[in-house]
Amino acid sequence: MSMNGANEFRPNIVAFCCNWCSYAGADLAGTNRLEYPAEVKIVRVPCSCRVNPLFVLRAFQRGADGVIICGCHPGDCHYTSGNYFARRRMTLLFSMLDYLGVEKARTRVEWVSAAEGAKFASVMKDFVQTVAKLGENRRLEDIRCKRQ
């Protein structure tokens, strides 16, 4: 989370991207010079099913304003079925987070293939805008973790 001169809120976004599809899609967005906000920072994971719900909670605890998980399209998982696990786990986690007061719009699962650089950029733009509108995440942030 940070503020720039115009007092515009700039959220901090953690994006978990699977190595085979979405991380390559992000690379393709770069190769095609498709701009998206610098607020998005990518963590490379082998598969979307590697994303433990605890990672998402940790990101919110440490002050992330939104978390997005990107994987291969259903049916196209490099490991056959990993993205289905991710989808089920995140559906449960996100509804629990919603119950705890972390708006559903702060969390998202998206399917982006290695060929969808344009989709990656547009998904990230849209997600940053959505989270920016919601403002800072204070619900799960643990201020004891903040380094001053």
Residues lying near another protein in the complex (CB under 8 A): 12, 14, 20-21, 23-24, 26-27, 29-31, 33-36, 38, 41-47, 49-55, 58-59, 62-64, 72, 75-82, 85, 89, 113-116, 121, 145, 147
Nearer to another protein, 46 or 101 (CB): 46
Nearer to another protein, 33 or 99 (CB): 33
Judge contact between 78 and 20, C-beta under 8 A: yes
CB of 106 to another protein, least distance (A): 14
Nearer to another protein, 20 or 127 (CB): 20
Number of other CB atoms surrounding residue 52 within 10 Å: 13
How far apart are the C-alpha atoms of 29 and 67, rounded to whole Å? 19
CB of 28 to another protein, least distance (A): 8
How far apart are the C-alpha atoms of 127 and 123, rounded to whole Å? 6
- What CA dihedral angle connects 38, 40, 46 and 50, to 10 degrees? 170
CB of 11 to another protein, least distance (A): 11
Tokens in use for 35?
A: 């701009």
Judge contact between 127 and 108, C-beta under 8 A: yes
CB of 128 to another protein, least distance (A): 12
Nearer to another protein, 58 or 98 (CB): 58
CB of 63 to another protein, least distance (A): 5
Nearer to another protein, 49 or 109 (CB): 49
Judge contact between 45 and 51, C-beta under 8 A: yes
Tokens in use for 15?
A: 């994006």
